[in-house]
């Protein structure tokens, strides 16, 4: 089990308590209160999920796609925590998002792939997050540039934010690929050698873009000693308003998790 001797964060505490992988699950987007709560109850029943994710402000590549419910969905996440005890996470892209999410008791924030590419935006987020103590997860930038990913982590660290995790969600590529975003496994491994104190998580949903690729990608991540997984889950994946092809029901997630071969297991 990899250890994080120098750090005591939301992520490392959970890893120390239960062993890896840290498990994050929830819908790509919060759509309705009923959908969010149904997902959370299904995940709670699995008994091993560490953090509930749901996107509220969705940075879609093209206009006209579902761009998220916005602030109206924040109380839905509060209800998830009140009813299931699961801590919650959402994506933030502006200082206003940070302020609103923290005001509504969201436990963990993440910076998405389309924001990590922009040093101005990352710096604004770092300034807004400074002193809040909020745990932050940083997805890799959409393009295969490990320096931008490292630079975002450095901006946060320089703002005094040490409660960090990195998420590998794959990289855009021109080359034909079976993946939605090519994993290019050597890039996150390079990041890990530069930031050994920061847990590295894998997002098989956005790498694969397809349900049938979740298991092999997650297995590869575990074989490479990743510290956790983030997998999108929805009670009715085919009708999801975003990323329908890659989401799975909480029940299917449970099957995937039981099919994985774990190198380190606390029990
Ligand atoms: C997401 O997690 O739903 C998302 C938008 O991911 P990414 O920033 O990796 O594209
Ligand atoms: Mn998504």
Please tell me the number of the ligand nearest to residue 169's CA: 1
Residue nearest to atom 3 of ligand 1 (CA): 28
Terminal Cα distance for the chain, rounded: 13
Task: For residue 1, tell me if it sits in a domain.
Answer: no
Task: For residue 264, tell me if it sits in a domain.
Answer: no
**Structure confidence at residue 264 (pLDDT):** 63
**Structure confidence at residue 3 (pLDDT):** 74
**What 3-state DSSP class applies to 232?**
strand
Task: For residue 266, tell me if it sits in a domain.
Answer: no
**Structure confidence at residue 247 (pLDDT):** 98
Task: For residue 3, tell me if it sits in a domain.
Answer: no
Measured from the Cα of 55, ligand 1's closest atom is 3
Selection from 101, 167, 94 nearest residue 134 by Cα: 101
Task: Tell which phi-psi region holds residue 181, choosing left (phi > 0), alpha (psi between -120 and 50) or beta.
Answer: beta
* Cβ-contact 88, 108 below 8 angstroms: yes
Structure tokens at 77: 């996440």
pTM over 0.95: yes
Q: What is the CATH number of the domain that holds 95?
A: 3.20.20.70
Whole-angstrom Cα distance, residue 205 to residue 54? 13
Whole-angstrom Cα distance, residue 155 to residue 84? 34
Q: Is 155 in the pocket of ligand 1 (CB under 6 A)?
A: no
The total domain count for the chain is: 1
**Structure confidence at residue 1 (pLDDT):** 57
Whole-angstrom Cα distance, residue 28 to residue 32? 12
**Structure confidence at residue 267 (pLDDT):** 44
- Span from the CA of 112 to the centroid of ligand 1 (angstroms): 6
Q: Profile the chain (267 residues) by mean pLDDT over runs of 10 residues.
A: 76 92 98 98 98 96 92 98 98 98 98 98 98 98 98 98 98 94 98 97 98 98 97 98 98 98 69
**Domain of 16, in residue numbers:** 10-259
Whole-angstrom Cα distance, residue 169 to residue 180? 10
Selection from 239, 255, 208 nearest residue 34 by Cα: 239
Task: For residue 5, tell me if it sits in a domain.
Answer: no
């Amino acid at each position: 089990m990899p250890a994080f001797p120098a750090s005591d964060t939301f992520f490392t505490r959970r890893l120390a308590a239960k062993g890896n992988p840290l498990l994050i699950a929830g819908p790509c987007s919060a759509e309705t209160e009923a959908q969010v709560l149904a997902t959370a109850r299904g995940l709670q029943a699995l008994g091993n999920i560490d953090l509930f994710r749901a996107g509220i402000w969705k940075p879609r590549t093209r206009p006209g796609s579902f761009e998220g419910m916005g602030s109206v969905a924040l109380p839905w996440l509060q209800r998830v925590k009140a009813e299931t005890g699961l801590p919650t996470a959402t994506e933030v892209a502006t200082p206003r998002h940070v302020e609103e999410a923290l005001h509504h008791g969201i436990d963990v924030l993440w910076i998405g792939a389309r924001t990590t590419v922009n040093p101005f935006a990352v710096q604004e987020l770092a300034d807004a997050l400074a002193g809040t103590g909020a745990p932050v997860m940083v997805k890799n930038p959409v393009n295969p540039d490990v320096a931008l990913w490292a630079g975002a982590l450095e901006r946060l660290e320089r703002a005094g934010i040490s409660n960090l995790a990195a998420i590998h969600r794959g990289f855009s590529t021109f080359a034909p690929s079976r993946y939605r975003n090519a994993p290019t496994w050597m890039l996150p491994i390079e990041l890990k050698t530069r930031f050994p104190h920061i847990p590295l998580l894998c997002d098989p949903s956005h790498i694969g873009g397809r349900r049938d690729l979740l298991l092999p990608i997650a297995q590869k991540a575990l074989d490479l000693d990743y510290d956790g997984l983030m997998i999108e889950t929805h009670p009715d994946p085919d009708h999801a308003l975003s990323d329908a092809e890659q989401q799975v029901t909480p029940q299917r997630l449970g099957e995937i998790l039981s099919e994985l071969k774990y190198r380190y297991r606390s029990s």
